[in-house]
């Protein structure tokens, strides 16, 4: 074992925090970890939320005003996290709002190529009844992402 | 959003690094991240490897000398990581060698109650052909552990 090489630090420089509009309790702790890292290591922080069109029922998704309402809510939530990060002294924060199909597909296919994070931070779903069919986004990203992923509990 | 509360840091104090004797490349990067954290935040670091009895074929598992050989190899690997951590300036490192069934079951049922980590660090399996049936240990822990889990790539 080459101990010199083994003791080279691994530091993340571009951190992507995935927040879930429906799971603010779990996202809040992930946010606190993300901002701790950002303060301690001077990282670039991206805060992303994906507006999942599949979350809406067919009637709402056909109604432009309902879509806009949903879009505004996601924008607002990401904006609140960005503001809280800035108030906490984080200088480089980027709000990222995307819209599309599955959250994990969107993050893998669009957000990662755009933002190029080396670490993704996600909360663990705090409501187990919430994801009966699919695993929480953090777990799906941990399995599929090409970069490191932390699921914060 | 209560921004004062939102800006309380989240710092991990007891970190468990899970190393895989069969996947040293992926474990090495996880090790480098674990020791970076341990140096920067003065954490207690546990380095665990589980000797999976199910990994052995039935003939070997009935042969005490083969079992002992396997046990010695796992002990030695954990010992090497502990030594490398100490040479890297980490003061509080604990070697943890367990023996039993599935790695993730052992970690969940025995190692976590014993060591009480608040963060588990695992490598991503670097050889995709290696786990065709089950997900890598880090992913399984991310899904099932009661504490935060980072899968390092």
Dump pLDDT digits (tens) for A52-108.
876 667 767 677 888 888 899 999 999 999 999 999 999 999 999 999 888 999 999
pLDDT at residue B133, rounded to an integer: 62
Phi, psi of A149 (to 5 degrees): -135, 130
Name the residue facing A153 among B135, B148, B153 (closest C-beta): B148
Distances (CA, A) of A104 to A61, A100, A128, B60, B65: 20, 10, 18, 42, 47
Closest Cα of chain A to B32: distance in Å?
6
Cβ atoms of B37 and B148 closer than 8 Å: no
Whether the predicted pLDDT of A5 surpasses 70: yes
pLDDT band at B153 (very low <50, low <70, confident <90, very high): very high
Kindly state whether A143 is in contact with chain B, defined as any CB-CB distance less than 8 angstroms. Answer: yes
Mean pLDDT, all residues of chain A: 89
Q: Predicted ipTM?
A: 0.92
Percent of chain B at pLDDT above 70?
Answer: 90
Kindly state whether B153 is in contact with chain A, defined as any CB-CB distance less than 8 angstroms. Answer: yes
Dump pLDDT digits (tens) for B33-88.
999 999 999 899 999 999 987 666 776 767 788 888 889 999 999 999 999 999 99
pLDDT at residue A97, rounded to an integer: 96
Kindly state whether A32 is in contact with chain B, defined as any CB-CB distance less than 8 angstroms. Answer: yes
| CA A131/CA A52 separation, integer angstroms | 15
Mean pLDDT over B82-98 rounds to 96
∠ Cα A152 A153 B3 (to 5°): 80
Mutate to test the interface with B, among A7, A47, A83 (most CBs of B within 10 A): A7
More confident residue, A128 or B84: B84
| CA A96/CA A111 separation, integer angstroms | 8
Contact between chains at A6 and B84 (C-beta distance less than 8 A) = yes
Q: Is the dihedral of CA A136, B110, B20, B101 positive or negative?
A: negative
Dump pLDDT digits (tens) for B110-130.
999 999 999 999 998 766 555
Contact between chains at A32 and B88 (C-beta distance less than 8 A) = no
Whether the predicted pLDDT of B102 surpasses 70: yes
| CA A1/CA B75 separation, integer angstroms | 15
pLDDT band at B90 (very low <50, low <70, confident <90, very high): very high
pLDDT at residue A126, rounded to an integer: 62
Residues of chain A neighbouring B87 (CB-CB closer than 8 A): 3, 7
Contact between chains at B143 and A147 (C-beta distance less than 8 A) = no
pLDDT band at B22 (very low <50, low <70, confident <90, very high): confident
Whether the predicted pLDDT of A130 surpasses 60: no
pLDDT at residue A52, rounded to an integer: 82
pLDDT at residue A132, rounded to an integer: 54
Q: Percent helix, strand and coil across chain B, each rounded to 5?
A: 50, 20, 30
Name the residue facing A28 among B6, B28, B138 (closest C-beta): B6
Whether the predicted pLDDT of A2 surpasses 70: yes
């Amino acid at each position: 074992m080459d101990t010199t090489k083994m003791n080279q630090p691994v530091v993340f420089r571009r951190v992507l925090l995935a927040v879930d509009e429906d799971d603010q309790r779990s996202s809040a702790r992930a946010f606190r970890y993300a901002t701790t890292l950002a303060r301690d290591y001077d990282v670039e922080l991206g805060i992303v939320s994906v507006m999942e069109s599949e979350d809406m029922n067919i009637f709402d998704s056909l109604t432009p005003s309902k879509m806009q309402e949903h879009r505004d809510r996601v924008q607002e939530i990401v904006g609140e996290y960005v503001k809280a990060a800035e108030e906490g002294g984080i200088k480089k924060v980027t709000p990222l709002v995307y819209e599309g199909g599955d959250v994990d597909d969107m993050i893998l296919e669009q957000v990662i190529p755009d933002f190029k994070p080396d670490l993704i931070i996600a909360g663990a779903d705090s409501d187990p009844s919430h994801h009966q069919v699919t695993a929480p986004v953090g777990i799906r990203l941990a399995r599929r992402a090409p970069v490191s992923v932390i699921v914060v509990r």
